[in-house]
Amino acid sequence: MKTELECRLTPEEEELVAKREELARLEAQLADQELVLASLKAELAAFEGLYLRRVGVLYAELDEWNALLAELRAEQAGTPEAKAEASEARAHAEEAYSAAHGEAAEVQPFSPTADLRKLYRDAAKRVHPDTATDETDRARRERLMKQVNAAYVAGDEDALRRILADLDTSPDTVQGSGVGADLIRVLRQLKQVRDRRTAIERELVALRGSEIALLQQDVEHARHENRDLLAEIAATVRGKIGVAKREHETRATGVKQRGR
Amino acid sequence: MADKTELLRLPKSDSTSLILSEAGASLIARGRREASSLLLRKKEPLCLATAKLNGKWGYIDQIGNFIVEPRFDEAFPFSSGFAAVRCGEKWTFVDKTGQRAFGTDFDGCAPFSEGLAGVKVGTKWGFIDEGGKQVVRPLFDQVKGFSGGVSGVEILAADRRKWGFIDTTGNFIADAQFDQINEFSEGLCGIELADRWGFIDRSGRFAVRPTLTYSFGYFSEGLADATDESCSGYIDRNGDFLITMECEDSDIFRGGLARVKINGRWGFIDKTGKIVIAPRFEETARFNRGIAGAMLDEKWGYIDATGKYVIDPQFDEVDSLNGFRYGLTSVKLGEKWGFIDRAGRFVIAPRFDYSEFDLINGFRCGLIAVRIEGKWGYLDSTGSQFISPQFEDALAFTETDAPSISDDWI
């Protein structure tokens, strides 16, 4: 009599298999979403850099002239209100200068290659903190995910490959045993992944509705009409600088004449 | 500003504030407001206004920025893409960037119309094209500007001023023989010859021979008011009386209705000559988008096409030149002028003297020049301060590429 060796799975094991399949599917989707989110952030950061270099610096210059004007008015009027206004205008000008000339203004255009995107997706899938099995694991994954994000935004494919290679040989990748414990871990991972996906969706919606994204859309929209909107804004701000300069000169001359 | 690596970390919450610092966000918000405004305004034709600062005139955009720096002693509104400006005794044209359009200076400049502009050389006027080339020699004492390829020109000979008409090459299509001429309206131009009024067409021929003892001299909606030895009323383009009536005064048609004064009171007739609004008003303005100013007991209100008051008579004066523009018209209450909407509600409270807002032009390109605390700025049609008061003087916005608006009061 021919007998076949049957290895039946227990209901727990069957559920574990099904949940692991679901987790794998969701992890792949999560990696895609992380890629979209990281790309959008990098793109907006690059646009912000461009904006600050072309327009932000001009607003900072305008604020500087407005601060000088306010200080001149305070000098002429000598009232506490005028002095408070001048102090506020000076603080505002300093903030604008820091923002326009800070690190954000140095971010360069972002255009990831297909390879970079694939590497990021693979790495994000492997190290995602929301697939952590415990707090120690989460901390390690968060650290790795930061490295992955930094490598992606810097366009550093080699760095991403190194991270992936290290992961392959890392003892940390070994999973624990025991069906019950595994099932609990997988269920927890599933919840974390679902939560993270929801959070990413929310963040994408908010990012796409942010001022910088809307400004970028305006610029793109204008580009299709062969217009350089950033140049137009810059011209407008330059005009305002001209008005502020003239007013400052007029007031300064007045002060000198009265002083004679 | 935080480190970008940190910025791109995975968020624990759905906050998006991690991209920008507060100051950076403020710079972006300012740019976005400017961008929205630029996108919105660029959909409309470019409008510029003349404004005066430190004793000189320049051109501002609808944000209030000088697009052409104030450096002229006199500056006319843009039309057809050019503006006439004066420096000292000399005139020239500038383009929309403020650059001198041609190398030549003139002793006088008139607005461009149909690609040609009147220019004065010495004491005589001729015409140049948009390349600055002289196309009609300076032979005339006054010029009107081209309309349909024809311009009125005046010649002073033997102490008598006479008007004629030339084509774009400078050839006369009607000899200088007329004592007065109007602008062309609906293809015809009112002329006065030996105390009689008639109309000529653009070929220089009489469409209506000069037999009328009086006419306002403008065709509107196919009819012109006319009086001859035997009757008064309205003539068609052939000079035939379509409407005859007994009245003391009359006006052109607007919206199918014309003002007529009978027994000292104003009413309205339709194009069949039928009185549709009985003459009971002390004064009226022309119909404008379905309503007209009408005065009773020395107070102005607004009536509809049936003669019924839709805005009760309560104002001391109304703007009978511009009527409603951008949903508003100026009215005087007591000693001050303000702006009401078509429901009669004040949108801009009566707080301006006659000389403190641009009564002549009213709202143009959505804005009106007003003087507040000694400085001129602009209000929009919501009454909001659109360009803050900062100029010594300021005039109406005009569409830079549109033809001249000098005669649109008719």
The residues pairing with B333 across neighbouring beta strands, listed in sequence order, are B336
The answer to whether the CB of A89 falls within 8 A of the CB of A67 is: yes
Residues of B in contact with A34 (CB under 8 A): 10
Give the model's pLDDT for residue B18: 40
**Poorest-pLDDT segment among A112-116, B5-9, B129-133, B217-221:** B5-9
From A7's Cα to the closest Cα of chain B, the distance in A is: 42
Give the model's pLDDT for residue B410: 37
B17 touches chain A (CB under 8 A): no
Per the CB < 8 Å rule, is A104 touching B21? yes
Q: What angle do CA A138, A142, A146 make, to 5 degrees?
A: 170
Residues 40-59 of A with CB under 8 A from B: 41-42, 44-45, 48, 51-52, 55-56, 59
Percent helix, percent strand, percent coil in chain A, to nearest 5: 85, 0, 15
From B39's Cα to the closest Cα of chain A, the distance in A is: 8
Intra-chain end-to-end CA distance of chain A, in Å? 123
Q: Label residue B336 by pLDDT band (50, 70, 90).
A: very high
- Smallest Cα–Cα separation from B71: which of B43, B48, B99, B47? B99
The listed range with the strongest mean pLDDT (A131-145, B21-35, B265-279) is B265-279
Beta sheet of B172-178, edge-to-edge order: B142-143, B151-157, B160-166, B172-178
- Smallest Cα–Cα separation from B62: which of B310, B301, B397? B397
The listed range with the strongest mean pLDDT (A7-16, A159-168, B88-97, B275-284) is B275-284
By CB atoms closer than 10 A (0-12, 13-18, 19+), residue B407 is: middle
- Alpha-helix residue ranges (DSSP H) falling in B287-335: none
From B105's Cα to the closest Cα of chain A, the distance in A is: 28
| B258: region left, alpha or beta (phi > 0 left; psi from -120 to 50 alpha) | beta
Residues 101-130 of A with CB under 8 A from B: 102-104, 107, 129
Per residue in A144-164, pLDDT (tens digit) is: 888 888 888 888 888 888 888
Per residue in B185-194, pLDDT (tens digit) is: 999 999 999 9
> Around A177, how many Cα atoms within 13 Å sit in the side-chain half-sphere?
0
Per the CB < 8 Å rule, is B7 touching A45? yes
Q: Label residue A168 by pLDDT band (50, 70, 90).
A: low
Per the CB < 8 Å rule, is A202 touching B14? yes
Q: Which residue has the tokens 């009489």?
A: B206
Q: Label residue B13 by pLDDT band (50, 70, 90).
A: very low
* Across A61-74, average pLDDT: 92
pLDDT > 90 in chain B, percent: 57
The residues pairing with B51 across neighbouring beta strands, listed in sequence order, are B58, B394
- CB contacts < 8 A, A to B, total 143
Give the model's pLDDT for residue B40: 63
Q: What is the DSSP secondary structure assignment for residue B264, as one 8-state letter?
A: T
ipTM of the complex: 0.75
Per the prediction, chain B carries an average pLDDT of 86
Residue A251 has pLDDT above 50, yes or no: yes
Residue A123 has pLDDT above 60, yes or no: yes
What pTM was computed for the model? 0.56
* Across B294-320, average pLDDT: 94
Per the CB < 8 Å rule, is A242 touching B27? no
Q: Label residue B359 by pLDDT band (50, 70, 90).
A: confident
Q: How far is CA B375 from CA B332, B357, B379, B398, in A?
A: 21, 11, 13, 20
Intra-chain end-to-end CA distance of chain B, in Å? 61
State how beta strands B346-352 and B336-340 pair.
Answer: antiparallel
What residues have CB less than 8 Å from B140, skipping those under 6 apart?
A: B124, B125, B126, B153, B154, B155
